[in-house]
Amino acid sequence: MKHLIPGLLAALTLLFPLLARATSDGVSPGQILIGQSITLLGGKNDYGMAVQAGVQTYLQGINARGGVLGRQIVLKVLDDNNKAADAEANARKLVEQDKVFILFGPIEGGPSTAVMKAAVDLKVPLFGPMAGSPTLRRPHQALVFPVRAEHREEFRALLDYTRKTGGTRVAFVRSDSETGQQHLENVKLLCAQLGLTLALDLPFKSDITDAQIGQMADQIANGNVQAVFNHGGIGVYEKLIRAARAKGVRGAFHAVNSGSAQMARHLGDLAHGMVFSQVVPSPWDRKTAITREYQEAFARQRPGEEFSYGSLEGYLTAKALVLALQRAGANPTRESFVAGLLNGNPLDLSDLRVTYSPSEHTGLKLVDLAIVTREGRFRH
């Protein structure tokens, strides 16, 4: 740390008291143990399983080449079933009982926020939450390091597309939660900036019934909106799209990145023309070095499995994790892990740069749009 610039050194001096003192937890001469709580739903969550396939693809490749400075990266995975309470309990178990080095890679806003709360309370870094929740960045969380861009920037891209294609009135489908309320406030601000009207706010609980989904579809049908977009709950959103189309709704349905490939496959012809915001490059194109690397590794390790945005995000987030662990040094501690991330140099994911500073953990800025073609493919 003696080479750090004075301002950064001062920031780290203030940060280190926030870290748990048991900095050797999870580190042995032969391995580094990483803890992950993720929404798999016992293997029924296509998106979670795709993310995990990407993570495992990268880590298996790194371990086959000797790991990180001679240590194998071992991932201890617990399923949170998309429940915030389970996610927090998992995170606490991973740190307090399994003695993991750091926490890594939850998905979905509610569970990711719950893992963050445990991480902050237990003073353990959380790296690479694969969710766009505003809670992961505001207020600034000194121990939380997202890799992907946040939902606010995805909403901005979708709303700007709606404006440019002639839309003026939109509907927002969101979880009825604290996180969903924060998303709503961001959407209101963005609509004001872009000159759009938020005609319908459509919150839903996790136990929403088909009858209630039908009522939401009626609101959309009677709401004179040109576009609908969502936050989370892709299973609910899929049902809502089916119900609305069955009632003759002709307006556009757009969506954030989470589970986009899986949603488009499930919807079939109903997905044609949907626009999805994306926080990683196209997993099918070969225009970027990170995608070419991912395709070759994924095809080699998982022959016959389809490429997807989820597995690419898992792959590049795992790559960012390994780069961060390499910066932690030959004798990694939680302090050296954080110091490595804040050393002023971005993590280099081939074409992409992941940036962090003591006051802002930006991660990636990439947000792109992709439209679903008649053949069910995504065109960027």
| Per-residue pLDDT at 258 | 81
In DSSP notation, 286-347 reads -SSHHHHHHHHHHHHHSTTPPP-HHHHHHHHHHHHHHHHHHHT-SS--HHHHHHHHTSS--E
| Per-residue pLDDT at 13 | 58
| Per-residue pLDDT at 16 | 59
User: Going by DSSP bridges, is the β-strand pair 169-175/31-38 parallel, antiparallel, or unpaired?
Assistant: unpaired
pTM: 0.89
pLDDT tens track, the chain, 380 positions: 445 555 555 555 555 566 765 556 999 999 999 999 999 999 999 999 999 999 999 999 999 999 999 999 999 999 999 999 999 999 999 999 999 999 999 998 889 999 999 999 999 999 999 998 899 998 999 999 999 999 999 999 999 999 999 999 999 999 998 888 999 999 999 999 999 999 999 999 989 999 999 999 999 999 999 999 998 778 899 999 999 999 999 999 999 988 888 899 999 999 999 999 999 999 999 999 999 999 999 999 999 999 999 999 999 999 999 999 999 999 999 999 999 999 989 999 988 999 999 999 999 999 999 999 999 999 99
Rounded CA separation 256/158 (Å): 8
Domains of the chain from N-terminus onward: 6-149+288-354 (3.40.50.2300), 151-278 (3.40.50.2300)
